[in-house]
Structures are given as structure tokens and as C-alpha cells.
Amino acid sequence: MAGNVTELNDAGFHAFVSGNALSVVDCWAAWCGPCKMIAPVVEQLSEELKGKVSFGKLNVDENNETPVKYGIASIPTLLVFKKGELAERIVGFRSKDDLKKVLARHY
């Protein structure tokens, strides 16, 4: 995975979100058009918000435990965790500016 985005799986998901003060997990699939659109936005934010927010990606086709646990029905879904607790859920494509505003509420 390029940049500062960590590739996650079901086994490492909990450790990632509980090991960071603020983390965002992009739940995606390779066949999903909007997922492909948001991927570079997530990469850019991971650079711009380095030190404030930790970013991860979870392929929902390769990992089914976590999407079921968090009720992921549509992708892309960004799960925002604050100290290991789900703080916000963002469904669908959003612009970088919109995502920055949402995340700024959680710093």
C-alpha cells in the first residue's frame, strides 16, 4: 500500500483502530467504481493529516468478519474510530474538503 495507508485484514483490524488515537478505515472492493474514486483522496489525506489521523483500507471481499460486525451495507464506507470506538460512519464518495471537515471534528 502506498503512502501512509495501512492494508488491513480482519485479524489486525482491532489492533489498528485501538492502537491509534484517531483512525479512519476505508472499506472497499476492487470492482467498486466509487471506491476507486475515493482511494486517491484517502491517500492524499493520509499525507496531509499525518500525525493526526491513521488511515487503513479493508477489502470487504477478502475480509467478511469486520464488515458484518460493523454492518457495512454499501461501499465505500469510511469508519472513523476515536480511541478504538466507532465515532462516525461516512458512506459513499465525498470530496477531500468534505472529509477534512468531518475529520476535523474528531481531532
* Residues classed as catalytic: 32, 35
Q: In this structure, what C-alpha cell is assigned to residue 98? A: 468534505
CA distance 72 to 91: 9
Report H helices in 1-107: 10-18, 33-48, 65-69, 96-104
SS3 76: coil
Distance separating the N- and C-terminal Cα atoms of the chain? 25
